[in-house]
Amino acid sequence: MPPKTLSLYALTLLALTTGCDLFGPAPSLSHAAATNGCGPADGPTWIILLASDPIRSATPPTPYVSVEIWQPVIPVLVQAYAIGSGASASYSPWPGTVQRASGGSVALTKVDSAGIEGTVDLQFPAKTVKTAFSGPWIRSSSLCN
């Protein structure tokens, strides 16, 4: 095989495996925050964001995980929410790319005016995200009808 063709195959394979996130988990998602959002029926929800870098806005730096709880922001209940039944989750390994969670849960252990704490155990096509989190509430410009 000519070197140019071999190089093209190698680059294609590298792009595909990187795009599928097959090289293992992303860096630790050690930063967290919570904000408000709009749910599937345009009702109020709230969102937990997990990222490897500090979160300063409702659009965190990639890679990140977003978990949407289909409940009004107040009252936020300290309980577990199953993905597909009370919550949804997505993983964005890089800008413009989103994978939907196929299963899992989020458990809240503390919710107050300062922030949130809990754990996630989420299954995505390319990875599992299982971690504890703690983070502040951040402002969002999201307005629901």
- Quick one: pLDDT at residue 10? 46
Please state the pTM of the whole predicted model.
0.77
In the block, tokens 């959002």 appear at: 37
Output the DSSP codes for 17-60: HHHTTTT-PPSP--EEEEEEEE-TTS-EEEEEEEESS---SSSP
Q: Are strands 103-112 and 80-83 parallel, antiparallel or unpaired?
A: antiparallel
- Quick one: pLDDT at residue 27? 56
Cα distance between residue 26 and residue 63, in whole Å: 7
- Quick one: pLDDT at residue 11? 41
What is the mean pLDDT of each successive set of 10 residues along the chain, which is 145 residues long?
A: 52 44 60 86 85 90 92 72 93 92 95 92 93 91 63
Cα distance between residue 76 and residue 69, in whole Å: 9
Q: What are the residue boundaries of the structural domains of the chain, listed by start?
A: 24-136
